[in-house]
Amino acid sequence: MWVLLLLVHLTSCAEKESRGNPAVGETKAFPCIDCHGRDGNPTNPHFPTLAGQQQRHLVDAMKAYQGLGTWIHHGRRDDPTMTNFLATLTERDLEDIAAFYASQRAR
């Protein structure tokens, strides 16, 4: 019985992690290119690499910029540029963008 419960839990976790469409996310990530690079590998070392990051981490970070996350330091990340870019994005948008960057290879 416990094996069945474990399998159900793992399947549920895998489904949550795989939400989002990388192909759609690539088009939605257009505003991110200037700072984070076309594939999530920025040319400026002051901007974080998004390529290859875990999808859930990327979604949580974007939510924190929106003021919706449960991030370290009071659930928020403060950056006016990021907050403005992410202000109107839906949960689905975040999942798609995160799926795209998670599917890229970090250099």
Q: What is the pLDDT of residues 14-57, one digit of tens each?
A: 555 569 999 999 999 999 999 999 999 999 999 999 999 999 99
User: Domain count of the chain?
Assistant: 1
pLDDT score of 37: 97
Q: What is the pLDDT of residue 77?
A: 84
Please indicate, yes or no, if residue 43 is contained in any of the structural domains. Answer: yes
Q: Is residue 16 part of a domain?
A: yes
Residue range of the domain that includes 67:
2-102
Q: Give a yes or no: residue 107 inside a domain.
A: no
For residue 8, what is the domain's CATH number? Answer: 1.10.760.10
What is the spatial distance between Cα 107 and Cα 84, in angstroms, rounded to a whole number?
28
Give the single-character DSSP code of 32.
G
Query: Does residue 98 lie within any of the structural domains?
Result: yes
Distance (Å, rounded) from C-alpha 69 to C-alpha 2?
A: 32
Residue 88 belongs to a domain: yes
Q: b vs e for 56-88, b when ≥16 Cβ sit within 10 Å of the residue's Cβ?
A: eebbbbbbbbbeebeeeeeebbeeeebeebbee
Cβ count near 20 (within 10 Å): 24
Per residue in 55-96, pLDDT (tens digit) is 999 999 999 999 875 555 456 788 999 999 999 999 999 999
